[in-house]
Amino acid sequence: MVSLADAHPPIALGALDGRYRGVVAPLVDYLSEAALNRARVSVEVEWLIHQTTAGTVAGVRALTADEQAQLRRVVDDFGPDEVAELAVIERETAHDVKAVEYFLKRRLCRIAPAAEDRGLAELIHFGCTSEDVNNLAYALLVKGAVEQVWLPRATDVTEQVAAMARDLKAVPLLARTHGQAATPTTLGKELAVLAARLRRQLARIGRQEYLGKFNGATGTFGAHVLALPDVDWPAVSRAFVEGLGLTWNPLTTQIESHDWQAELYADLARFNRVLHNLCTDVWTYISLGYFAQVRGQGTVGSSTMPHKVNPIRFENAEANLEVSNALLDVLGSTLVQSRLQRDLTDSSMQRNIGSALGHSLLALDNVGRGLAGLDAVPEAMAADLEGNWEVLGEPIQSAMRALGAQGVEGMEEPYERLKELTRGRRIDGDDLRTFVQGLRLPADVEARFLELTPQTYTGLATRLVDDYLS
């Protein structure tokens, strides 16, 4: 048997880099190994520029504007050739961050080749432990992936749900609590609940802080102070970290504690779970015939049954949300743990962030496509409502309770009387109207209930969508 492992170009092991590459490709610029190395180069460049601009080391000249621009261009131009070059260096160093340091020193010598400037190269990675670079790189990458890729797509899908809610706000729907026929609502109001839940999680994610530390081998600035005792190192560290757009963490061990990551991944997972709830509800509405999958359906639904259009978008989304949450949960629980001042479990664990967000992004793509292919079928919903007149027992007994409390005679045991009429049997409109006419209700109340149907018993559902889902 021919080994597929020897294929050129290489065949992807996982679905995200194979079958679904096109959907998750935007994350490659943030959460791939190459993106991590580019971010490390960026942090090292910015640290060198920061030191020389702030005059941290006395007697070292500031880099010119052109030199700074050329250094930043190293980051902007970081592509496949640079990835390959860095890989060669890393094979020599057997250390990823040290390889970045040597890579950048080569570039600096080309940008500032004069003999008197060679000392500048020693300020690359000055005072740093690898985690000083790594934690900032990861914070920048995760921030970029969430804010530039995941959050816009999640917002689009959420607003897609909200738009459907507004469009369908007045379409009556037989509710099902515990799977049983229950007080009617509207399809739009039920979608509005999901849209509001998704929006709440997006708001939490949008407020996320991304922390960074820059304080040396065990978080004490020990080497910094001995090398340059007159420098206010916490102030330098804070200015540098905040200058990168991150929140400064002054109290750490060798690693930034990753608590912010655990907080973020918990919120992402919660969003995923609400989205999963939407998928299962919509899947059920499709199975009940309340939604028809008709728009843009040029695909094969079943390989053997021509009439079928399977709700595969929502099923695919469910599976990917479950994979995403498994990864997000283990990231959140593992990253907050570190033995004493440092262990390397976080290094391996953080390499799975891309997969966690990738499966969520793939689910969002499927949900968006799935929702776009749905049409509501009000006739099917109306037929179910017409077959369940017993749901009107609730408002009638509630009105009888209120009237009894007000002293109206003949309103005794309202719940029990409606239970006897409706439980375990189907009734129709005539049955209910006959019952209402025998209750001796006040004329205005009787008229209200004689006009009531399951289709019109939706309370304030439409208004709730109008008032609370902007």
| Selection from 16, 47, 36 nearest residue 355 by Cα | 16
User: Cis peptide before 9, with omega less than 30 degrees from 0?
Assistant: yes
Choose the catalytic residue: 32, 42, 125, 178. 178
Neighbouring C-beta atoms of residue 11, cutoff 10 Å = 11
As a whole number of angstroms, the distance between CA 448 and CA 335 comes to: 61
Dihedral, 259, 265, 270, 275 alpha carbons, nearest 10: 170
Residues in a beta bridge with 181: 176
CA gap 392, 380 in Å, rounded = 19
Catalytic residue among 50, 224, 258, 302: 302
Interstrand relation of 247-248 and 211-212 (parallel, antiparallel or unpaired): parallel
For residue 400, give every residue at least 6 positions away whose Cβ sits within 8 Å of its Cβ, in sequence order, or none: 411, 414, 417, 439, 441
Read off the DSSP letter of residue 182.
Answer: E
The residues with which 177 forms a beta bridge, in sequence order, are: 180
- Catalytic: 302? yes
Q: At what angle do helices 33-54 and 96-111 cross, to 10 degrees?
A: 50
Q: Is-catalytic flag, 303?
A: no
Cα 123 to Cα 300: distance, rounded to the nearest angstrom: 61
- Beta strands of 295-428 (E only): which ranges? 374-376
What is the rounded distance in angstroms from the CA atom of residue 443 to the CA atom of residue 441? 6
Q: Show the 3-state SS of 387-410.
A: CCHHHHHHHHHHHHHHHHHCCCCC
Q: Hey, what amino acid is at 306?
A: P
Taking alpha carbons only, the member of 189, 377, 175, 171 closest to residue 293 is 377
Distances (CA, A) of 353 to 109, 136, 142, 280, 326: 35, 15, 8, 26, 11
**Neighbour-count burial for 388-427, b at 16+ CB within 10 Å, e otherwise:** bbbbbbbbbbebbeebeeeeeeebeebeebbeebbeeeeb
Q: Which residues are designated catalytic?
A: 178, 302
